[in-house]
Amino acid sequence: MTAPKKKKEKRIGLFVCHCGVNIAGVVDVEKVAETLKDYPGVSFSTNYVYMCSDPGQQMIIDTIKEKHLDGIIVAACSPTLHEKTFQEAARLAGLNPYQIEIANIREQDSWVHTDGARATKKAIKIVKSHVEKALQNENLEPIKVDVTKRALVIGGGISGLQAALDIADHGYEVVLVEKNPSIGGKMIQLSETFPTLDCSQCILTPKMVEVSRHPRIRLLTYHEVDSISGFVGNFKVRIRKKPRYVDERLCNLCGECEKVCPQIVPDEFNMGLSFRKAIYMPFPQAIPGTYTLDAEHCLGLSPVRCGKCKDVCDKKAIDYDMKESFIEEEVGAIVVATGYDLYTMQALGEYGGEKYEDVINGLEFERILSASGPTGGVVRRPSDGKIPKSVVFVQCSGSRDTEKHNPYCSKICCMYTAKHAMLYKHRVPDGQATVFYIDVRTGGKAFDEFYQRAVEEDKVLYIRGKVSKIFKEGDKLIVWGADTLTGKKVEVEADMVVLAMAMVKADGIMDLLKKLKISTDINGFLAEAHPKLRPVESLNAGFYLAGCAQGPKDIPEAVAQASAAAAKVGDLFAQKELIHEPTVVPVNDELCSGCGICIAVCPYDARSLDPERGVAVVNEILCEGCGACAAACPSGAAQQRNQTDEQIFSMLRAMLRE
Amino acid sequence: MKLHYYPGCTLKEKTTALDISTREAMKRLDIELVEPEGWTCCGAEYPLTEEKIVGLAAPIRVLRQVREEGGDVVVTTCSFCYAVLKRANRAIQQDPLKHKRINAYLRDDIKINEWTKEKTTGFEDYNGEVKVLHLLEYLRDRVGYPRIKSRLKRDLKGLPIAPYYGCRLLRPADEMNMDEPDSPRVFEEFLEAVGCKAVDYPFKQECCGSYLSVSLPAAATEASYRVLRSARMNEAKAIAVTCPLCFYNLDHRQEAVKETFLDFPGLPVLFFTQLLAWALGVDKALLGLKEHSVAADGLFDAHQAAEVRS
Amino acid sequence: MFEPQIMCFICKWCTATAADMAGTSRMHYAPNNVNMRVMCSSRIDPQHILYAFKQGADGVFIGGCHPGDCHYVEGNYKTLRRITLFKIMLQDLGIDPRRLRLEWISAAEGKKYAETMDEFTEQVRAMGPLQLNEKALTSEVTKDE
């Protein structure tokens, strides 16, 4: 690395723009050009009515060539508008684009001041500072880095599956990692989906099959991401393969093992409403189609083994000696589609979710409604299997609560509650469905019509008010609420209560995110780069977000977001190589003492200590050029390219000295 | 040890049973309850008026007196007093205007030296130095249930008691900070510590209507009925309260309840300190049972509880 | 009348955009300031601030993004800590710490930028010229040298 450049005799050109009367109406542009004609370093100075116009640009190009200029200042409008324009013009003239300086004498001068004389004085100061900077600007080349055109998708729910399919259909390889024994996420647990009342499993399973058959998708179920290193375009991922104890290639789903297994475990797929064995298949359409041995609940694998399942396996697919192993994958982009969980009913003690079996959450009700669920699709209540004649649905359970629970709206509950109430009425026509709501939010396509159907056709009773308490009296659940529209307290006797619990960040996500080092918002959902304009990217380059991991949303939105994330990944992969702004902060080895302060200060982990040479090293691709390390460096070894301390001092001198 | 104790007006006038049983129970725990000299009414309610400052002068004066007597803790057994004292204490610590004005009111009180009878004025500002605790809290946090259990003289054999929290003890939650307002445990834990079985019933925090005693007595009757009925339905032998106003309403009102709701046979109402005293071996005559409208004597017969061999 | 010189370091992502917005909306303010655009307010070193005072600035202004909004994640927090400590140093150096102002101005707050410029200009005007160099040259200590 070289020492900071000394000011050489550069030939700087100054072009002061009138911008019609926008600048010239207040600032005496001719005076500015005239005054600075003889400033040290300025070889050429002129003014023109519209620098951004074609003739204006041509003038710049011609002048650079004729006068052999090493750098130019365009004193005009804000750089946010035409910096690229003039950089392009300079490039055409053979000048390095980083030798262009834009002096803002419009938005920050002529447009905000009325005193022409003082505005002109200020313009001169501003231009002088840019001349000083230009005299020390170096030629810079954008940093180029290769991109590994393979993607990692974390999560095998609808969002992960959609993103994987889209990326793979683009022609790139995808590694899809899912921690559960099968893909399908939460959507596979649903009975019907709003607003069409499509059978959820019927629309999801074809996608699941497509993923499993896709030649470019490597499906890794029962795997978890262990660690990630590297940077955008060049990630190295370590993935842990959990031992299934069943060889999925050999298992033929005969089910004999399940029959003989003596261990009974609450079935998580059915939300604990039924039981499974320790060796099990989560649901019939599971992909991959194989049994899995749940070691945690198995009677024992070592040293004493029950062994019953292995004895009856014809295919010899069961192997108790399987061990955890690790795989390394290299990818260029990572899509995080890790989904959500439901807020725990324990937090709402007053609703009795933990106390009473018949107070359930939305996913439990989905399993009850499901034809493949624990009750075969007949609506029965969990405690005694009775068909409930009165069901109360409580919206906003744990959502929209700024005092104790989650302040945000979980978005889907109004729609799925209407769906639940409708489906209940379809199956128990003489039953009473009552919904307690604060608002009914039905913003999607055909959503409001769906809700009106519930009210008008299926005669679901909607009461506007919150529920304060739910308790059992004899055989019934008493629900206390309010009817705010009549101003009265309401007491409903129910056989069963369904709570629309808030959608919260997925359990165990924080551990994963620490490994990924991507940021979350205040509620634990993944933070998007910009709330309005960049909804599927993370601020951490190379990471993309899809689905409920980024925030509560319904299936159509999740699919849209997944495809959007896939498109962004496509953007990344379409580039031959990644171009990174070179205005980063390199390390001057000669001055660096290896104190490590810059390393601690960098928000992008771009700097590290070279143990052999005892100096800091910077990964220029990760460095975003914020300059925090430059300010923190005690020896001046960290200097930002084209905004070094020397440049800053020169600029200050020029601007402030009379 | 000596402990400052603020009884409040009701305990000295209407519900002396609570006062007596409290003193006796604490004696058994080697604690002598001392009332701050010249204590006055606390105001009974945290100011709801437009003028929110003047009403705090009385409770702060009580707390200041405790400080003057060298105490840093004051316990009370009345939930209303507890709420007022605790919230006034917080207000003076958090609001500089209240701090300034109330101390200005109280600064010129006259101090009379007990021995020399010399009068002096000018107290130092009160800054919230005294901590206000309800006796339930004190027993849970400062005495500890193990110590209580070690002093038990009678085994109450799991007498099923329904704990009634009332309205003042736990709310507003961020100011009272005594327990989880929606699913509290402090009273249940106390009952278990003294050898009773805490009955779980849904009305343990519901309004008993005592506020409407004068303006709309029918509503108060119905509200009390619902509380008592729920306790009964869940097999409680008695309902225990922490506040003299709860007691007054649930106990004295039962006659009106029985007249309106003919199927209601009645349910004894007890103070938590009566159970504590009884379990610690205090004599039945010192429990103030004569004050009860609904006879509670039957629960305190010798055969109901066995002597505990210590 | 004394016209103070205000040196403004403004961060590209937030304050500079707000300054531009003030311009686009034609909000007028006192012409006493000169701006230097930096990528992040955390680029500003106490050296730069002292140098600015030395070169003739009567007041120094630093504009960054609101906490939580920094384009570089946490730069503004670093600036906050730095400036808080540095103000104490300024006091020890005999410079009124009120001459250094740190303000969070988001890209949408053009009006706030204009108002702050006016306010700060008046504040510094009331404090009078700093004249750091002149004072150093005429002080008893340096006279002997």
- Partners of residue A354 in chain B, C-beta under 8 Å: none
B18 pLDDT tier (thresholds 50, 70, 90): confident
> Which burial class, exposed, middle or buried, applies to A520 when counting CB atoms under 10 A from its CB (0-12, 13-18, 19+)?
middle
Cβ within 8 Å, pair A648-C48: yes
Residue A159 pLDDT? 98
Nearest CA-CA distance, residue C128 and chain A, Å: 17
- Judged against a pLDDT cut of 80, whether residue A477 lies above it is answered with yes
Answer yes or no: do A196 and A274 share one domain. no
Q: Where are the domains of chain B?
A: 2-132, 152-307
Q: In whole numbers, what is the pLDDT of chain B averaged over residues?
A: 89
Instruction: Please tell me if residue C36 touches chain A, with a CB cutoff of 8 Å.
Output: yes
Answer yes or no: do A31 and A58 share one domain. yes
**Segment B72-107, tens digit of pLDDT:** 999 999 999 999 999 999 999 999 999 999 999 888
Residue A62 inside a domain? The answer is yes
Domain that holds residue A398: 341-504
Give, in words, the CATH class of B2-132: mainly alpha
Lowest mean pLDDT among A71-85, A149-163, B11-25, C28-42: B11-25
Residue A114 pLDDT? 94
Nearest CA-CA distance, residue A345 and chain B, Å: 13
Q: Are C36 and A651 in contact (CB under 8 A)?
A: yes
Answer yes or no: do A529 and A403 share one domain. no
Answer yes or no: do A407 and A458 share one domain. yes
- Judged against a pLDDT cut of 80, whether residue B307 lies above it is answered with no
**Residue B227, token pair as written in the block:** 């509380």
Percent pLDDT > 90 in chain A is 86
- Judged against a pLDDT cut of 60, whether residue A386 lies above it is answered with yes
B305 pLDDT tier (thresholds 50, 70, 90): low
Q: Which residue has the higher pLDDT, A513 or A246?
A: A246
Chains that touch B (3 or more CB pairs under 8 A): A
Instruction: Please tell me if residue C124 touches chain A, with a CB cutoff of 8 Å.
Output: no
Task: For residue C91, give the H/E element and its range.
Answer: helix C75-92
Chosen domain end from A122, A142, A162: A142
**Segment A164-196, tens digit of pLDDT:** 999 999 999 999 999 999 999 999 999 999 999
**Segment A59-118, tens digit of pLDDT:** 999 999 999 999 999 999 999 899 999 999 999 999 999 999 999 999 999 999 999 999
Residue type, A144: K
Closest residue, chain A, to C75 (C-alpha): A628
Residue A644 inside a domain? The answer is no
Closest residue, chain A, to C78 (C-alpha): A628
- Written as one string, the DSSP assignment of A605-631 is --EEEETTTTEEEE-TTT-----HHHH
Whether cis (ω within 30° of 0) applies to the bond prior to A303 is: yes
Chosen domain end from A504, A521, A540: A504
Please indicate whether chains C and A are in contact, defined as at least 3 beta carbon pairs under 8 Å: yes
Answer yes or no: do A469 and A545 share one domain. no
Answer yes or no: do A398 and A489 share one domain. yes
A3 pLDDT tier (thresholds 50, 70, 90): very low
Give me the CATH topology for the region B152-307: Rossmann fold (3.40.50)
Answer yes or no: do A462 and A364 share one domain. yes
Lowest mean pLDDT among A9-13, A72-76, A301-305, A650-654: A301-305
Residue B304 pLDDT? 56
Please indicate whether chains A and B are in contact, defined as at least 3 beta carbon pairs under 8 Å: yes
Backbone angles phi, psi at B166, to 5 degrees: 70, -170
Answer yes or no: do A425 and A283 share one domain. no
Which residue from A78, A539, A631 is facing C42, i.e. has the nearest CB?
Answer: A631
Q: How far, CA to CA in Å, does B139 sit from each of A347, B115, B148, B238, B239?
A: 27, 35, 8, 22, 20
Q: Which residue has the higher pLDDT, B307 or B68?
A: B68
Beta-carbon contacts of residue B117 (< 8 Å; ≥ 6 apart): none
**Segment B102-138, tens digit of pLDDT:** 999 888 888 877 788 888 877 889 999 999 999 999 9
Residue A167 inside a domain? The answer is yes
Cβ within 8 Å, pair B202-A349: no
Domains (range + CATH), chain C: 6-144 (3.40.50)
Residue A7 pLDDT? 53
- Judged against a pLDDT cut of 80, whether residue A495 lies above it is answered with yes
**Segment A537-548, tens digit of pLDDT:** 987 789 999 999
Mean pLDDT of B166-183: 86
The distance in angstroms from the start CA to the end CA of chain C is 34
Answer yes or no: do A29 and A178 share one domain. no
Cβ within 8 Å, pair B183-A350: yes
User: To which residue do tokens 């009160």 refer?
Assistant: B126
Chosen domain end from A516, A543, A574: A574
Closest residue, chain A, to B234 (C-alpha): A473
- Judged against a pLDDT cut of 90, whether residue B51 lies above it is answered with no
Residue A2 inside a domain? The answer is no
Q: Which residue has the higher pLDDT, A520 or A3?
A: A520
Nearest CA-CA distance, residue B182 and chain A, Å: 6
Nearest CA-CA distance, residue A351 and chain B, Å: 10
Q: Are A638 and A111 in contact (CB under 8 A)?
A: no
- Partners of residue A642 in chain C, C-beta under 8 Å: none
Q: Are C101 and C59 in contact (CB under 8 A)?
A: yes
CA B172 remoteness from chain centre: 17
Instruction: Please tell me if residue C45 touches chain A, with a CB cutoff of 8 Å.
Output: yes
- Judged against a pLDDT cut of 70, whether residue B310 lies above it is answered with no
A1 pLDDT tier (thresholds 50, 70, 90): very low
Whether cis (ω within 30° of 0) applies to the bond prior to B172 is: yes
Rg of chain A over CA atoms, in angstroms?
33
Instruction: Please tell me if residue B104 touches chain A, with a CB cutoff of 8 Å.
Output: no
Answer yes or no: do A37 and A102 share one domain. yes
CA distance C69 to A527: 12
Residue type, A78: S
Residue C138 pLDDT? 66
**Segment A607-628, tens digit of pLDDT:** 999 999 999 999 888 898 999 9
Answer yes or no: do A490 and A471 share one domain. yes
DSSP code at position A594 = -
Instruction: Please tell me if residue B182 touches chain A, with a CB cutoff of 8 Å.
Output: yes
Mean pLDDT of C74-98: 93
Answer yes or no: do A304 and A367 share one domain. no
Beta-carbon contacts of residue A370 (< 8 Å; ≥ 6 apart): A189, A190, A191, A377
Q: Are A465 and A436 in contact (CB under 8 A)?
A: yes
Closest residue, chain A, to B183 (C-alpha): A349
Residue A608 inside a domain? The answer is no
Backbone angles phi, psi at A162, to 5 degrees: -65, -45
Instruction: Please tell me if residue A649 touches chain C, with a CB cutoff of 8 Å.
Output: yes
Residue A556 inside a domain? The answer is yes
**Segment A429-465, tens digit of pLDDT:** 999 999 999 999 999 999 999 999 999 999 999 999 9
A-contacting residues in C 62-101 (Cβ below 8 Å):
71-75, 78, 82
- Partners of residue C73 in chain A, C-beta under 8 Å: 519, 539, 603-604
- Written as one string, the DSSP assignment of A155-193 is --SHHHHHHHHHHHHHT-EEEEEESSSSS-TTGGG-SEE
Residue A5 pLDDT? 46
Residue A566 pLDDT? 98
Q: In whole numbers, what is the pLDDT of chain A averaged over residues?
A: 93
Q: What CATH number corresponds to the domain at position A496?
A: 3.50.50.60
Residue A248 inside a domain? The answer is no
Q: How many domains does chain A have?
A: 4
Closest residue, chain B, to A470 (C-alpha): B202
Mean pLDDT of A481-503: 96
Residue A200 pLDDT? 96
ipTM topping 0.90: yes
- Partners of residue A344 in chain B, C-beta under 8 Å: none
